Amino acid sequence: MAVNLQSVLDSTLPGLGYELVDFELGGNGLMRIFIDKEGGVTIDDCVAVSNHLTRLFMVEEIPYERLEVSSPGLDRLIKKPADFERFAGQMVKVKLRLPLPDRRRNLVGQLKGLVDECVVVDVNGEVLNLPLAQVDRVRIEPQF
């Protein structure tokens, strides 16, 4: 019986005090897991989660060759509906699957939220409602 990695991570990480931001399965058995928590993620957090998941994956017989656990970084990916609410007001970079009629495909603006399956972004005073199905990714645009 195949184990659903997403559900294993979703059920395990919150109990350890972490949020699953994303995970990637790369070539040669590479598994990357991005975690977050209130106040940010330290190297000790990554080590603790890596050690826990290594044992869990052995028990659950989840195959991988190399495991990497890290923070999502300053340019964190915004994927879940709760993320759009949590990071409303932040500057974001939006990459679209297909360009807008004016040929823009990459936008930077202030995230307003997620409304009716549309990512709402204020780009220089122009409020855009971008259908979620047309959005490739949304990342926080760090401000220094």
* DSSP letter for each residue of 5-47: HHHHHHHHHHHHT-EEEEEEE-GGGEEEEEEE-TT---HHHHH
| CATH no. for 5-70 | 3.30.300.70
How many Å apart are CA 144 and CA 141, to the nearest integer?
A: 10
Quick one: fold of 81-140? SH3 type barrels. (2.30.30)
* Residue 1 confidence (pLDDT): 39
Tally helices (H) and strands (E) across the chain: 3, 8
* Residue 3 confidence (pLDDT): 65
Q: What is the pLDDT of residues 34-74, one digit of tens each?
A: 999 988 999 999 999 999 999 999 999 999 999 999 999 98
Confidence grade of residue 144 (pLDDT, cut at 50, 70, 90): confident
To 10 degrees, what angle do helices 5-16 and 43-60 make?
130
Check: CB of residue 94 under 8 Å from CB of residue 114.
no
The residue ranges of every structural domain in the chain are: 5-70, 81-140
Confidence grade of residue 27 (pLDDT, cut at 50, 70, 90): confident
Place of tokens 């760090």: 142
HEC profile for 73-94? CCCCECCCHHHHHHCCCCEEEE
